[in-house]
Structure 1
Amino acid sequence: MAPVTIDSDPLPGTLRAAVGLLRAEAVAVGLVAAWLVWSDLTAPRVDLATAVLLTAFAIGGAAALWALGGGLARRRAGARAPAIVLQLMLLPIGWYMLQGGLKAIGVLLMLLGVGVIALLVSPPTNRALGFGAPEAGQ
């Protein structure tokens, strides 16, 4: 019988931080989605199609962020690119918040997006996900 090996190599700090931030974003977007559901149900007048689409978009975004965090926690390299795309989406959102007078939130969102991207493309994360040059002898 072949010996069983367990990958006990812990996630590097950069990848663990990125997963934590993606999961935190998922929770935040999930809370927005819950508020949208409540708002849809209690509004006196509502454009039903727009309300349902916006709510579904928020629920889908929360689910995608949570799933991508889980994929990265399991070292699935294919989860990195979609996670980066979602973080890039924070840049125009933050920019428009800056333009609309919500400077603190806009700057925070932009820094969050850039920060998570930096964590996702850092050398320790690259090694953990299998990107980069193969080690000697392989």
Structure 2
Amino acid sequence: MSSEQRPSTGASSPAAPRPARLSAAAALCAAEGVVLAGFGAYLLVMGLLGAPSSPQQAEMGGLTLLALAALPIVAARGLLLRRHWSRGPAVITQLMAVPVAWTLVGTGGAVIAAGAALAAVAVTVLVLLVNPTATAALGVGPRDER
């Protein structure tokens, strides 16, 4: 099948360079996923060791964080591969991160820095993903009607 006969996936040609904005958004999403997985693994291990006052709660929290970590990691891979579906999970992850960051900042103490960092990353990724260059690379947005 020639290149003219192949069905369009909606994304720009794989031969075209990936926009830096898309690469940055993918890297930040992947970092969020890795951090979530790290916290999940920590909670799971602490629960298994019986360290917290409620090991079952720690185990369940750890498993939940490990499951949630999959979303930004899968979205990051999709962004790197320029899959149009990947923008949705990436945006949803950031929209979920903003209230979490707000809560962390509001609690005070040592977690203020973590909340501020999470908020900065979430807003940055949202800005990168709504950028016209990124949306065009993913094949998202208005389509020409011919």
TM-score normalized by structure 2?
0.81
Measured in 1, the distance between the counterparts of 2:21 and 2:82 equals 12
Q: Percent identity?
A: 31
Which residue of structure 2 aligns with residue 22 of structure 1? 29
Instruction: Say whether 1:111 aligns with 2:117.
Output: no
- How much has 1:106 moved relative to structure 2? 1.7
Moved beyond 6 Å, runs of 4+: 3-6
Counterpart check, 1:40 vs 2:47: yes
Establish whether residue 124 from structure 1 lines up as the match of residue 110 from structure 2: no
Equivalent pairs, count:
136
Aligned partner of 1:109: which letter? L
Segments of structure 1 that go 5 or more residues without pairing to the other structure are none
In structure 1, the residue matched to 2:68 is 61
1:53 to partner: Cα distance: 2.4
RMSD: 2.3
> What is the Cα deviation at residue 132 of structure 1?
3.2
| Residues 112-136 of structure 1: CA deviation (Å, up to 9, x unaligned) | 111101111101101101123457x
Deviation string for 1:36-84 (max 9, x for gaps)?
A: 1210111255352x33321121111112211111111121111211211
For structure 2, the residue ranges without an aligned partner over 5 or more in a row are 7-12
